[in-house]
Amino acid sequence: MILLLDLCYERDSLSAYEFVHPIGDALQNAGTRSEAMHFMDMTENGLESYEKIILCGTALKDNAFAEHLESFSWIAGWDRPLLGICAGMQVIAAVFGGRIIPQPVIGLERIEIIGDSPLLGERREIEGYHLHNFGVTLPADFRLLAGERGRVEAFCHCMRPVYGIIFHPEVRNRWILERFSRF
């Protein structure tokens, strides 16, 4: 079972219907079970029942999660597959020593995949939907998968199954969610 961690500013917000539920729908269509939980309701004790976790995105001006980064300290010890989408990528970067930086992008953009990976596949160009005011710097021990140093589109940890993407696969690239579900 995959846990979808809702990073929206409050429990049961309307934003969850845009940023969490579509991910659950995509996983269900791929034959994978998931359940959603708000990040403020999560405890480390409940993590053992999940095989994988997806940190979901938030609305454009919703950065409340960044005021509660201590709630994500468990990520440093998590050894199972983890995917951060948009705000989720920002959380992963911050936990591993990267920075959240201003970088507004809205709409469809070309994304250059520069490194082969189980999540994104081989090197090529794809199109992805962006909706964010912030990006990240590449943390130590992470490898750039898409973009460039000044504009990180996707990354992965060098030793652990931890991935981050700044764009929204639930909008345009559901195949990424399907690939993650098969890890």
Which residues are designated catalytic?
A: 86, 168, 170
Distance CA 130, CA 108 (A): 6
Angle, in degrees to the nearest 10, between helices 21-29 and 174-181: 60
Exposed (0-12), middle (13-18) or buried (19+): which is 48, by Cβ within 10 Å? Answer: exposed
Nearest to 92, CA basis, from 169, 162, 42, 19: 162
Distant-in-sequence, close-in-space partners of 104: CB < 8 Å, separation ≥ 6: 132, 133, 134
Q: What are 79's two structure tokens? A: 């050894």
